[in-house]
Amino acid sequence: MSRAVRFAPLVILLVLLAGLVWRLATPANPSITSKMTGKSVPAFALAAALPTKPGLASTDLASGHPRLVNFFASWCVPCIAEVQLLQQLKAQGVHIDGIAVRDRPEDVADFLARHGDPYERIGSDPQSRVQISLGSSGVPESFIIDGRGIIRYQHIGVIKDSDVSMILARLEQAK
């Protein structure tokens, strides 16, 4: 066996070790950055989910100041916890719009009556079409859209207490 072949296993081992050491030193970040961040919101116009509030269209999002778009559903249990937190955000001056996914008007009305309503506009997305076009796959998920209608951040899962300062900072950046 030639010298190169004899040392080959050692070299492969060193490369492997380097990779594994790197991984142990920088633990995997489970969140995946959306391919949609930095792009404009795809065009859509959703009918109102409630008779008492306007629906949501992509043009509403380019309103000159950053907005939080929250995908939720009355059948989603974590959304109950989140919607209460969103009201705190609203009290701090955040503009929040909702998109009700695969939901019925009476259920949405009931959900908001019970747990509070932080939304300025609520669009109804009965087939998840808009949700999918934004690169979101579940509820709850939230997007930060800047004043020009460009997606700046995608948050997968519930916004928790510990996320609030990060969300506010990102909204600030999006100004």
Partner 1 sequence: MIAEAGLAALWLAAGLAAFQFILMIGALRSEVGLVRPMRSIAVVQGVLTAIAFAMLVLVFATTDLSVALVYENSHSAKPFIYKVAGTWGNHEGSMLLWVTILAAAGACLALFSRRTSEQTLVAALGSQAVLALGFYAFLLIASNPFARLKRPALEGLGLNPLLQDPGLAFHPPTLYIGYVGLSIAFSLAVGALLTDQVDNKLAQAMRPWVLAAWIFLTLGITAGSYWAYYELGWGGFWFWDPVENASLMPWLAATALLHSINVLAARGALKAWTMMLAVIAFSMSMVGTFLVRSGVLTSVHAFAIDPERGTFLLALLAIYVGAAFVLFALRGATLKEGAPFELVSRETGLVINNLLLSVILGIVFVGTLYPLFVEAVSGGKLSVGAPYFDAVAGPLALVLAVLVGVGPLLSWRRERRPVFKQLTIPGLLGVTALVITFIVAPMIAILPRLGMTVAAYLLAASILPLVGRNPLRAPLATWGMVIAHFGIAVSLAGMAMNAAFTEERLGVARPGDRLNVGPWTVEFADVTPTAGKNWTALEAKLRATRGQGLVILNPQTRFYSDPPTETNEAAIETFWNGQLYTVIGKSDENGGWQLRLWWKPFVTLIWAGGALIGLGGALALIGRLWRLRRRRRESAGWRQERYA
- Beta carbon nearer to partner 1, 2 or 92: 2
| Binding segment toward partner 1, per CB under 8 A, in 22-30, 49-57, 115-123, 137-145 | 22-30
Considering the complex, what minimum distance in angstroms separates the CB of residue 19 from partner 1? 5
Q: Which of residues 31 and 173 has its CB atom nearest to partner 1 in the complex? A: 31
Nearer CB in complex with partner 1: 73/96: 73
Structure-token pair, residue 82: 């989140």
CA-to-CA separations, 106 to 45, 72, 116, 153, in angstroms, rounded: 21, 15, 15, 31
What residues contact residue 155 under an 8 Å CB cut-off, 6+ apart? 141, 142, 143, 144, 163, 167
How many CB atoms neighbour CB 35 within 10 A? 10
How many Å apart are CA 136 and CA 144, to the nearest integer?
A: 13
- Position 127 contacts partner 1 (CB under 8 A): no
Residues facing 123 on adjacent strands? 48, 99
The answer to whether residue 77 forms part of the interface with partner 1 (CB under 8 A) is no
For residue 69, what is the enclosing H or E element? strand 67-72
For residue 27, state whether it binds partner 1 (rule: CB under 8 A).
yes
Q: Is 32 in the site for partner 1 (CB under 8 A)?
A: yes
Q: How far is the CB of 147 from partner 1 (least distance, A)?
A: 29
**Which residues of this chain interact with partner 1, rule CB under 8 A?**
1, 3, 6-7, 9-10, 13, 16-17, 19-24, 27-28, 30, 32
